[in-house]
Amino acid sequence: MTDDGPVMPRGSVSRTARLASLPLGAAGRATLGLGKRLSGRPADAVAAELQQRTAEQLFAVLGQLKGGAMKLGQTLSVFEAAVPEEMAAPYREALTKLQEEAPPMPVRTVHSVLAQQLGGRWRERFKEFDDAPAAAASIGQVHRATWRDGRDVAVKIQYPGAATALMADLNQLARFARLFAALFPGMDVKPLIAELKARVVEELDYGLEADAQRGFAAAYADDAEIVVPRVVASAPKVIVSEWLDGTPLSRIIAGGTREQRDRAGHLLAVLHFSGPQRAGLLHADPHPGNFRLLADGRLGVIDFGATARLPDGHPEPIGRLLRWALAGRAEEVLADLRDEGFVRPNVEVHAEEVLDYLRPLLEPVVDRHFHFSRRWMQEQAARIADPRSEANRLGRQLNLPPAYLLIHRVTIGSIGVLCQLDAQGDYRAVLEQWLPGFVEK
């Protein structure tokens, strides 16, 4: 790699070879498994071993790449609470190692991007600029600096060639999507990858991200619970915003106190439900790397590349459906599900069966206290994914309307992070305050 050459596209042959190793490895393990079954080993034991080995290879390949592989890995990471710890732990380690040890852009490339985006006299905008990156992400890296007015700032710089590498990786991963079933039984990864591809254009445009960050910062200015750093300057490939210190949620997940876990969980829920009402925006990338718990107890939010624009706030039918379901009003639940397109006109389902399907998912807001845990999420995932279960049969009859796709994915992802945090508290109160339709007026 030259000092000023492209960062991500180079090595594309080796990147493709690594991704291509996924189905080849799976085929080899399947052959090995067949041989062991023929030799008399129990089928369940062989299946468990194949699942474990496939997951290990998946982690290893994703852990060696940036771009689309890392983006998909980060997106899937919020769901890891749904899988057994022996499989989830290597995944967390691979992503942490990737972010901590990702090779930085050459310094000359960093300076070249800054000159292109901020002008040839870009250095005059800063009192100090640290050439060593403070953090790495899927499509860029962050440098710490001091702005000309003395403020500490974070300078987010996009890797040259990020767009090409990102789309190439996602296209390749889409062809191997069935392999992810080894780690996430019942999850169809193809729609998730399709959604990521659809949002890539927005995430690559730092101008759009800066606008979203400005919207959140204005909505939460001087807030007692949420803090969003203000944007100092922006360009299509660079964002300069105020520096935010704090404890990353990944560290709290790994070894935080009970107080930190519960506080972070509460504030994540507040952000999720209050953002659409206060800013007309939903933060749509809930993985732990995007959040900090500040020393004063506030939640810091530092990445706005993925946002959903909800100018009218959260759709009122969501709150109304939850209210009907909690009250046991099965017929009203089914009627609203049909009206919103969750149940197609030609699909025949029984109202009580639908309510039975939903009830376990509503446990977090039934009472004034709920404990999110990996065990709870694993139970829900197993209940829905088991092809022999009534929940699985009914779930396959339901439809997810396009208007609710991103909201659904972000909500499930946020719940996944709450389970990683092992957070507990009064989540019903958050919905009562922020979710339209949840409280009857």
**298 in a domain, yes or no?**
no
Which pLDDT belongs to residue 160? 87
What CATH code is carried by the domain that includes residue 219? 3.30.200.20
**276 in a domain, yes or no?**
no
Residues 206/237, Cβ–Cβ less than 8 Å = yes
Which pLDDT belongs to residue 29? 40
**50 in a domain, yes or no?**
yes
- Same domain for 73 and 175, yes or no, is yes
Range of the domain at 406: 316-434
**191 in a domain, yes or no?**
yes
- Same domain for 145 and 176, yes or no, is no
- Same domain for 334 and 380, yes or no, is yes
The structure's pTM equals 0.80
90-93: long-range contacts, CB 8 A cutoff, minimum separation 24: 90/55, 90/56, 90/59, 91/55, 91/59, 91/183, 92/250, 93/59
- 242, 270, 297 - which closes a domain: 242
Which pLDDT belongs to residue 386? 76
**353 in a domain, yes or no?**
yes
- Same domain for 22 and 146, yes or no, is no
- Same domain for 234 and 344, yes or no, is no
- Nearest one of 225, 259, 247 to 294, comparing CA atoms: 247
Q: List all residues 6 or more positions away from 381 whose beta carbon is below 8 Å from its beta carbon.
A: 82, 83, 184, 185, 186
Comparing 3-12, 205-214, 259-268, 341-350, which segment has the lowest mean pLDDT?
3-12
Q: List all residues 6 or more positions away from 134 whose beta carbon is below 8 Å from its beta carbon.
A: 142, 143, 144, 154
**181 in a domain, yes or no?**
yes
- Same domain for 150 and 175, yes or no, is no
What's at 115, amino acid-wise? A
At residue 28 the predicted structure's pLDDT band, cuts being 50, 70 and 90, is very low
- Same domain for 333 and 404, yes or no, is yes
Q: What is the DSSP letter of 15?
A: H
**282 in a domain, yes or no?**
no
- Same domain for 40 and 143, yes or no, is no
Structure tokens at 299: 């939640």
- 186, 210, 242 - which closes a domain: 242
Alpha carbons within 13 angstroms on the beta-carbon side of residue 280 total 8
Which pLDDT belongs to residue 3? 40
pLDDT tens digit sequence for 259-282: 999 999 999 999 999 999 999 999
- Same domain for 150 and 227, yes or no, is yes
Using DSSP, state whether 223 is helix, strand or coil: coil
Beta strands, E only, 130-230: 135-136, 140-147, 152-158, 226-227
What's at 3, amino acid-wise? D
- Same domain for 358 and 231, yes or no, is no
**371 in a domain, yes or no?**
yes
At residue 189 the predicted structure's pLDDT band, cuts being 50, 70 and 90, is low
- Same domain for 339 and 427, yes or no, is yes
- Same domain for 88 and 189, yes or no, is yes
Number of domains within the chain: 3
Comparing 76-85, 330-339, 414-423, which segment has the lowest mean pLDDT?
76-85
Residue 254 scores a pLDDT above 70: yes
